Amino acid sequence: MAARNFFKADLRELEFALLEQFQVEDLFGKAPYAAMTREDVKMILQEAHTFVSDVVGPTLQESDREGCQIAPNGKVTVPACLKPAWKAYFENGWNGLALPESRGGQSAPHLLDMAVLEMFTAANAAFAMYPGLTSGAAEVIARMGSPEQKKLFLPPMDTGRWAGTMLLTEAQAGSDVGLNAAKAVKNPDGSYSLTGTKIFISGGDQDLTENIIHLALARVEGAPKGTKGLSLFIVPKILVNPDGSLGAPNDVVCTGIEHKMGIHASATCTLSFGEKGKCVGYMVGGEPKAGVEPGAGMRKMFTMMNLARIGVGVQSLGVASTAYLNALEYARTRRQGAHLRKGRPPEGAVPIIQHPDVRRMLLEMKSQVEGCRALIYHAIRLQDQANIAAQTDPAKGEELLDYVGLFIPLVKAYVSDTALAVASTAMQVYGGAGYTRDYPAEQYMRDARIFPIYEGTNGIQAMDLVGRKLAQNGGALVGRFGEEAGSFAAKLKEQSAWNTEAGLLTRAVESYKKVVGDYMAFFTQDKMELIPLTGTRFLNLMAKIAIANLLLQGARLAEEKLAKTDPESRDGMFYRGKIASARFFTRNILPQAVAEAEIISSGDPTALDIPDGGFSTAW
Amino acid sequence: MKILVPVKQVMDVELNVRVAAGKVVEDGMTLVLSKWDENALEAAVQLKEAGTASEVVVVTVGPESAGETLRKAMAMGADRAVHVLDPAADGSDSLGVARVLAALGAKEKPDLILAGLQAQDTDMGGVGPMTAELMGIPCLSNVTKIEGTGPTLTIHRRGDQGREVIAVTLPALITANDSLNQPRLASLKGIMMAKKKPMDTLTLENLGAAGVAGAAHALTQIAEFQPPAARAAGRKFTGEPEVIAKEVFDLLVKEAKLVG
């Protein structure tokens, strides 16, 4: 029996986001981005959709059921159906959309790349991790590697012959990466001997590629404690000769794989290196130059995390989107119950999309999915603009990049939390059928559950927001955010049709500004614990304001287009849907942000004051 | 060997096709390359990759939007494209399109024309054979396998009596069955390279085909479109198996007229 294919994407919505609202065309032809056209965008979306649908979609359930296996010798096998998908992915060049031309890519803006990535992750999030991690590792080498390292490692990684991973986490060093204990000792030839054990390594071993290039954090003998003393090493699974051919296996062993709730097709490995004292690694970028403190590379690597965290946002979005679209299809075909006013149709029951509570769920999902997409596209577009600005005006590039940084925790945390909620609501639309393995909702929920956890837990994201970004540049970033939302709300007030929404947005922005002031007060009144205590609430508050703002901007655009479109046509329906998303979000979801703000401002210390023993009877 | 591949842009039939006032609602429909044409194109590109063919030229007779389909065909491997874009060709029936293709055939002089068995929207299957007839070349329809390097090819086709194996000397026209091959997916590089490949836009006059195509010269006309009738509700039989079996059998004979 042919594998079932649940992949769904709304190409009209992707076109709207890219071409109408976020105007990817503005970025084309501005270095470092290639000259492309509107037609290119449409064709790339269309053909990527065909590819994902034909090649990746059918692997979703099959690869989940089969999972990954580890042999006694430590060799890991991934689900068989992923192998042709991996091969086709690279053969058809889909990894190369945003790669520079010098690496065989198309130099497209990341904005376009993210739209394509969203489809891959919607089709099979676990599969999409392998190429995603490979391009992430390659990007680190491209930015920070020595010329020799780039020449040796990038071509096989860019063509899918080798894969890449990131080795950060250790049993005692998760969120607290500075506790890393892996050790590196310099060899006479300039390489290092590494010893240590890394856990939770996605793609740490697999049988998709002949070699794997691990990027491992380790502490050089004598380096200071904490993150400062950490360096990054290239540790090939199979050693690579200077001519690029494969040498002897390195002393890296996979000692186990995790048995997880979801993303079963992604091999999550424990890697032990240097058990025989023979694990060779090379410092990324070669030896630090005189005057540069050891471990300076670490800080550079953190700037890479922007893209990785946006990547998790996109992953979350992809799963949320396909979960919604599957639930929508079910709601249109499943018949149950009578219409509240019209009673029962001749078929006996109405499609459940006619029931008010089901419509509530559908529009909640639709507006959240579109809102998250807008939030991500906004951030990634700023990042692309920063990259363009950096070519001619580095200071301007830095300024834009700082502002992108403000959105990173929102993109990672809000979108991943929301994706899980959307997947859960999608299951609810199915009723009991959704809880079975006959439908994809249960897998979407299982797969999506990791997104709020990895790549910096959402708690860590909230800390990043209130601990670093809030006060960054003297509070200028949060100030700019408030000003932008406030001035849009003021402009929206001039539109009588949007009076209600303008009022709700204004109110939310005011409570946001009040909270920013309250945070200052918490600090001066020696109540600083209240800041991390309420960080997640503040993150949600900001994300909901940003999303309402962006959805309303999109709705105004849709309204202009609708005026020139037959409202009963497909385009007409689409634009009416965009307007409904914005209204629903602003009226039904944004007010929750105001409630969050009131909770923050109340300065409730209960969770701090409760004695530890009060949490449990075991004390 | 030079191969000409005529293609048609059709509505994506996987979407819900709507009919209003006797016409198909075209608004907002995604337009795609007709699937049998993909098989024809794939066969042509494979012959090129095998070194048998030297050039694959893709052609369409259609509106502005059909240019996208030509680009897709070039993304899949065609070397260049010809777009016959002329309002005078609007409303052509199969014969009109065949006349235009025959005119182009006289100009391009391909050794082989590889067409789809039928278009995915109308399922007519007329254009290929009519073009061959007008050009005075052999036509082999419903082809499942192509062997050889020319000037004589061995063709497998599905015929009335089963598989037919036929030797044909070029020039000839072949229409592709969808079991001929598995069409490739366009690669990202192919998509980006396609826009650099040459695309000629011609009018009927350029082809010396003025006054042979278009609604005014059509021998057939589509009076109206009707949506397929909704499937009648199924019927559930309950009771003793022996009784139900007889009841079902009677219905099959009397109502469905399946037996006897």
**Tens digit of each residue's pLDDT (9 = 90 or more) over B33-63:** 999 999 999 999 999 999 999 999 999 999 9
Of the residues A13, A370, A442, A455, only one is catalytic, namely A455
Residues A365-377 have a mean pLDDT of 98
Query: From the candidates A47, A103, A571, which should be mutated to test the interface with B, based on the most B CB atoms within 10 A?
Result: A47
- B71 in contact with A, Cβ within 8 Å: yes
Q: Please answer yes or no on whether A50 and B185 come within 8 Å at the CB atom.
A: yes
**B235 falls within a domain:** no
Q: Please answer yes or no on whether B27 and A566 come within 8 Å at the CB atom.
A: yes
Q: Please answer yes or no on whether B233 and A12 come within 8 Å at the CB atom.
A: no
Q: Please answer yes or no on whether B195 and A40 come within 8 Å at the CB atom.
A: yes
- A94 in contact with B, Cβ within 8 Å: yes
Residues A66-94 have a mean pLDDT of 97
The position carrying tokens 């198996």 is B241
The overall average pLDDT reported for chain A is 94
Please, what's the b/e burial string for B218-252 (b: 16 or more CB within 10 A of its CB; e: otherwise)? beeeeeeeeeeeeeeeeeeeeeeeeeeeeeeeeee
> Pairing mode, if any, of strands B172-176 and B112-116?
parallel
CA of A569 to nearest chain B CA: how many angstroms apart? 7
Pick from A39, A40, A93: CB nearest B187: A93
CA of A367 to nearest chain B CA: how many angstroms apart? 22
**B153 falls within a domain:** yes
Confidence class of residue B16 from pLDDT cuts 50, 70 and 90? confident
**Residues facing A273 on adjacent strands:** A196, A252
Q: Please answer yes or no on whether B27 and A43 come within 8 Å at the CB atom.
A: no
CA of B139 to nearest chain A CA: how many angstroms apart? 32
Asked if A519 and A466 touch (Cβ cutoff 8 Å), the reply is: yes
**B258 falls within a domain:** no
A203: left (phi over 0), alpha (psi -120 to 50) or beta: left
Using a 10 angstrom Cβ sphere, with 0-12 exposed, 13-18 middle and 19 or more buried, the burial of residue B41 is buried
Residues A290-314 have a mean pLDDT of 71
- B232 in contact with A, Cβ within 8 Å: no
| Closest to A539 (Cα-Cα) out of A227, A313, A259, A215 | A313
**B243 falls within a domain:** no
A113 to chain B: nearest residue by CA?
B188
CA A503 remoteness from chain centre? 32
**B224 falls within a domain:** no
Query: From the candidates A87, A103, A570, A571, which should be mutated to test the interface with B, based on the most B CB atoms within 10 A?
Result: A570
Pick from B29, B71, B188: CB nearest A106: B188
Residue A463 has a pLDDT of 96
* A596 in catalytic set: no
Asked if A89 and A160 touch (Cβ cutoff 8 Å), the reply is: yes
Q: Which residues of chain A have a CB within 8 Å of the CB of B189?
A: 93, 96, 106
Is residue A427 predicted with pLDDT exceeding 80? yes
Residue B239 has a pLDDT of 87
Residues A456-484 have a mean pLDDT of 95
Confidence class of residue B259 from pLDDT cuts 50, 70 and 90? low
CA of B186 to nearest chain A CA: how many angstroms apart? 7
**B240 falls within a domain:** no
**B44 falls within a domain:** yes
Residue B254 has a pLDDT of 85
Pick from B25, B30, B188: CB nearest A93: B188
**Tens digit of each residue's pLDDT (9 = 90 or more) over A239-252:** 999 999 999 999 99
Give me the total of CB pairs closer than 8 Å, taking one residue from chain A and one from chain B. 57
CA of B228 to nearest chain A CA: how many angstroms apart? 19
Residue A45 backbone dihedrals phi, psi, to 5 degrees: -60, -45
Identify the CATH number of the domain in which residue B69 sits.
3.40.50.620
Q: Please answer yes or no on whether A96 and B28 come within 8 Å at the CB atom.
A: no
In percent, the amount of chain A with pLDDT more than 70 equals 97
Q: How is residue B66 annotated by DSSP?
A: H
Asked if A106 and B193 touch (Cβ cutoff 8 Å), the reply is: no
Q: Number of structural domains, chain B? A: 1
Q: Please answer yes or no on whether A574 and B189 come within 8 Å at the CB atom.
A: no
Least confident among A225-234, A255-264, A387-396: A225-234
Residues A487-492 have a mean pLDDT of 97
- A112 in contact with B, Cβ within 8 Å: no
Q: How many helices (H) and strands (E) does chain B have?
A: 6, 13
**B198 falls within a domain:** yes
- Which domain covers residue B190, as residue numbers? 2-217
Q: Which residues of chain B have a CB within 8 Å of the CB of A49?
A: none
B16 to chain A: nearest residue by CA?
A570
Confidence class of residue A346 from pLDDT cuts 50, 70 and 90? very high
Residues B245-251 have a mean pLDDT of 89
Residue B27 has a pLDDT of 78
